[in-house]
Chains A and B, each alone.
Chain A
């Protein structure tokens, strides 16, 4: 805990409110990439982030956003570190985050597989609910989408395409 409170908002609260650059309806806390916020006695702040995917191009952007937001809140000395272990899982997306994704038209992920993922051919996949009309009569049109963390789906009931955050 900081001894001399220069602002009424804690560093954790500031960092938790930073929006994700690719999924701006989510905060970094919603997405589960904000792993730790430590406020030292001298007022310096260390924020730990984890990437969603190895090649996530938004990491530099997230770091810059966290530093900028904390600077604006009066924290002059901010350090952002990367945590790789344990690796990010879509299970870390908060309940709040899942609700916001659906409201935004992006289907939230189901439960991530645990342990080694077997190769399944021709198996029936989990039914994903259309975030627009709620129908479960949907089909995957592409296993990848505009970002590494999403797949592309289509609703057979309302004919709308939508994105889904993949389970990993």
Chain B
């Protein structure tokens, strides 16, 4: 057999039947990583931080995956799926970390599949339905800009080495996501009258949900600095795209406290349906 004929063979050959196909038998993404919580780190606070950041990534990833078979071009479908995959990887590590430090022993799957919408802690921006492609690009731009700013700070100085490492890895990915979204915003904004109109509409649609991103900045980080950094990115992109940055009015409540739009429950219903129909099943 040729060497490259059997790249996935070992999965089939392993004694474990649950790993009969590529991508099944999900296992601990922090396998073999030292999971001790360092002295001086409050486990409750660390778990809450990882849960919020993990839920942001998981829900954003699910919305990106919904573009499969629906994106305007095949290349964009591949791009959005890849960005979603990066975020899913971040979510897996962060949710695994939650179960390690909160004392509950819950796995990433328990946390992803067996919680109701009111127990999710993601910001509301990521749960909004996709709609227009321009809206999704506006959302991805502001989401990845905020997450990048937050992750850079976590990578530079968070006392938990696991979160620090997850953030350091994520920084590289998020810079790439931000670049991708920014290029689309410019292309659509500085395009035809129709694409300009729809891109502006996309920015206007996300405007009420942007302030919540800044209220979700982890404690210990300078919120003003993060806000300015994200604001500068938006201003830079909007100028190149001939678009206007809308005002970010403050909307009551926060996804970090379990306040969500009615859009989250149907998203979770779909994402969790197989796991709930076959409890404990592996596939």
Contacting pair A54 B93 (CB below 8 A): yes
Residue pairs across A and B with Cβ atoms less than 8 A apart, 13 shown, are A19-B4, A24-B4, A51-B169, A54-B90, A54-B92, A55-B90, A55-B92, A64-B14, A81-B31, A82-B30, A117-B172, A144-B180, A152-B75
Question: Assuming the A-B contacts A82-B29, A144-B82, are A19 and B165 also in contact, with contact meaning beta carbons closer than 8 angstroms in the complex?
Answer: no
Q: Is B236 an interface residue (CB 8 A)?
A: yes
8 extra A-B contacts, CB within 8 A, seeds A60-B25, A143-B183: A54-B93, A54-B173, A60-B19, A63-B31, A79-B32, A82-B33, A142-B79, A144-B78
Q: Is the interface of A mostly helix, strand, loop or mixed?
A: loop
Contacting pair A68 B10 (CB below 8 A): yes
Q: How far is the CB of B170 from chain A (nearest CB, A)?
A: 6
Contacting pair A85 B165 (CB below 8 A): yes
Residues of B within 8 A of A64 (CB): 10-11, 14, 19
Interface range, A side? 35 or more
Q: Is B233 an interface residue (CB 8 A)?
A: yes
List chain A positions with a Cβ less than 8 A from chain B: 19, 21-22, 24-25, 48, 51, 53-57, 59-61, 63-65, 68, 79-89, 116-117, 119-122, 141-148, 152, 166, 168
Residues of B within 8 A of A121 (CB): 182-183, 186, 236-237, 240
Residues of B within 8 A of A80 (CB): 31-32
Total count of chain B residues near the partner, CB < 8 A: 56
Q: How far is the CB of B2 from chain A (nearest CB, A)?
A: 9
Residues of B within 8 A of A85 (CB): 161, 164-165, 168
In the assembled complex, the Cα of A117 lies from the Cα of B76 at a distance in Å of 22
Residues of A within 8 A of B87 (CB): 54-55
In the assembled complex, the Cα of A83 lies from the Cα of B32 at a distance in Å of 8
Residues of A within 8 A of B32 (CB): 48, 79-83
In the assembled complex, the Cα of A60 lies from the Cα of B33 at a distance in Å of 15
In the assembled complex, the Cα of A57 lies from the Cα of B83 at a distance in Å of 13
Q: Is B1 an interface residue (CB 8 A)?
A: no
Residues of B within 8 A of A84 (CB): 30, 33, 93, 162, 165-166, 168-169
Q: Is B128 an interface residue (CB 8 A)?
A: no
